[in-house]
Amino acid sequence: MVQNWIAAMAGAAILAVGGAAWAEEAPAWQSVLDDAKGQTVYFNAWGGSQNINDYIAWVGDEVDQRFGVTLNHVKLDDTANAVAAVVAEKAAGKDTDGSVDLIWINGENFVAMQEQGLLSEGFATELPNWKYVDTSNPSVTVDFTVPTKGQESPWGGAKLVFFSDTARSGPVDAMPKSAAELLEWAKAHPGRFSYPAPPDFVGSSFLKQVLVETTADPSVLQEPVDEANFETVTQPLWDWLDAIRPVLWRSGRDHPQNYPAMKQLLADGELEIIFAFNPAEASAGIAAGELPETVRSFTFPGGTLGNTHFVAIPYNSSAKAAAKVVANFLISPEAQLRKEDPRYWGDPTVLAMDKLPEVDSGAFAEIDRGIATLPPSQLGPVLAEPHSSWMTRIEEEWKRRYGG
């Protein structure tokens, strides 16, 4: 298990996370380590989940002890707030000593920062631990159809999964197998389904799932939004949302704030189906005593959305060296192993098992992913994320139609 692996690695091998072993191979990295010592990294990251907050706190303890880097977690409820802060600083001419040093980001927020020149030059592929990253997965170098150019470092995977309490709703084999079936299920079980209102990430991801399933030609979603066909392409989505709204929880007049709120509604028996962008969420909820032990996961056989999430360094960060050190630690085998363990987070790794030393790949194989976590072979196909501009327009249109 993870504790045994950490003990076994408590020697020279553990230096692979970015210490002296790498300094011998790459003197340039030693220079980064030297510059990073004593710096403080303000890591702007979503703060809505206790297990994620605890994981980031662990990362902070480790980079402090190993590299003399202080990590301050700036807890966000919306990543766009951190993006707006960097935008405001650039407008004010504050090109150094920025307030954001590292940001958890992907999708439209990344594209907005890249297009506006708000990110540091490419750094990710120069990190020592990049050699372990699964570069056969195109989503580690392309974010929502946009090349990352090394301006983001991956630190976790994501896959949309649904789950329900089988003690109340019956076996997952009988659960909906597509957006169309989910609509019919909701009509037959009024008030027992809902989704967080955009721009909540999980809620917006659900809208993208429905969009990809219902649009006539999903390939058009891989290109930027064209206002000339936006209404035609998205009309099936609005038709679906109009049809389900009267049978949503609270008749669609209110929505859960976020995933933790949905999880509580499932635990309280108010909702029967919820969803998350992490295959391990159900098991993590059970382990934490937040969900009944009878909760189980399911996906749609035709596929659900999947992507990679990243960290990026703003162009005006005051602690770029330390931010690189943190990013490098986040893709170390040790940090990725703990991150995938559902006792701590349960987030899928971005590392390639065949690139790891045998002791590390063996430790990943031994992870107990929990009773409610589907094995990778049962997660179904990955549906490609639309170009980020689609989500921006859909969130605007959703608010106009339903957010008043």
pLDDT digits (tens, 9 = 90+) for 306-345: 889 999 999 999 999 999 999 999 999 999 999 998 888 8
**Average pLDDT over every residue of 81-96:** 97
Q: Are the beta carbons of 175 and 273 closer than 8 angstroms?
A: yes
Instruction: Give the integer Cα–Cα distance in Å for 161 and 200.
Output: 17
| Tokens encoding 138 | 């195109």
Identify residue 167 by its one-letter amino acid code.
A
Whether residue 64 has pLDDT greater than 90: yes
Instruction: Give the integer Cα–Cα distance in Å for 116 and 111.
Output: 8
Whether residue 24 has pLDDT greater than 70: no
Query: Domain limits of the chain?
Result: 2-156+309-373, 159-306+381-402
Identify residue 98 by its one-letter amino acid code.
G
Residue 133: its pLDDT value, please? 96
pLDDT tens for residues 122-156?
A: 999 999 999 999 998 878 998 988 899 999 999 99
CA angle 121, 122, 128 (to 5 degrees): 130
Q: What is the dihedral of CA 293, 296, 297, 298, to 10 degrees?
A: -170
Give me the chain's average pLDDT, please: 91
Instruction: Give the integer Cα–Cα distance in Å for 124 and 154.
Output: 8
Instruction: Give the integer Cα–Cα distance in Å for 12 and 124.
Output: 24
Q: Are the beta carbons of 206 and 197 closer than 8 angstroms?
A: no
* Cβ-Cβ contacts under 8 Å for 273 (sequence gap 6 or more): 162, 163, 164, 169, 175, 176, 182, 185, 192, 193
**Roughly how many angstroms between the first and final C-alpha of the chain, as a whole number?**
50
The residues pairing with 157 across neighbouring beta strands, listed in sequence order, are 308
Q: Are the beta carbons of 218 and 158 closer than 8 angstroms?
A: no
**Average pLDDT over every residue of 301-309:** 92
With cut-offs at 50, 70 and 90, classify the pLDDT of residue 46.
very high
The total number of residues shown for the chain amounts to 404
**Average pLDDT over every residue of 231-236:** 97
Helix (H) or strand (E) holding 44: strand 40-46
Instruction: Give the integer Cα–Cα distance in Å for 18 and 333.
Output: 11
R_g over Cα of the chain: 21
Distances (CA, A) of 203 to 149, 199, 277: 28, 7, 10
pLDDT tens for residues 164-185?
A: 999 999 999 999 999 999 999 9
Tell the residue number behind the tokens 């990955």, with chain if given.
382
E strand map for 263-317: 273-276, 295-298, 304-312
Instruction: Give the integer Cα–Cα distance in Å for 322 and 216.
Output: 47
The DSSP output letter for 223 is S
E strand map for 160-272: 161-165
Residue 58: its pLDDT value, please? 98
**Average pLDDT over every residue of 383-389:** 87
CA angle 310, 11, 30 (to 5 degrees): 55
**Average pLDDT over every residue of 359-384:** 88
What is the assigned CATH class of domain 2-156+309-373?
alpha beta
Domains 2-156+309-373 and 159-306+381-402 share a fold: yes
- At residue 323, the 3 state secondary structure works out as helix
Instruction: Give the integer Cα–Cα distance in Å for 49 and 77.
Output: 10
Q: Which of 387 and 41 is assigned the larger pLDDT? A: 41
Whether residue 9 has pLDDT greater than 70: no
Domain 159-306+381-402 has CATH 3.40.190.10: yes
Instruction: Give the integer Cα–Cα distance in Å for 42 and 165.
Output: 39
* Cβ-Cβ contacts under 8 Å for 249 (sequence gap 6 or more): 191, 192, 193, 194, 255, 256, 265, 270, 271
Identify residue 84 by its one-letter amino acid code.
A
Residue 307: its pLDDT value, please? 86
**Average pLDDT over every residue of 271-300:** 94
Q: Are the beta carbons of 133 and 267 closer than 8 angstroms?
A: no
Whether residue 383 has pLDDT greater than 60: yes
Closest CA to 305 of 70, 123, 144: 144
| Tokens encoding 143 | 């974010």
Closest CA to 230 of 213, 245, 211, 243: 211
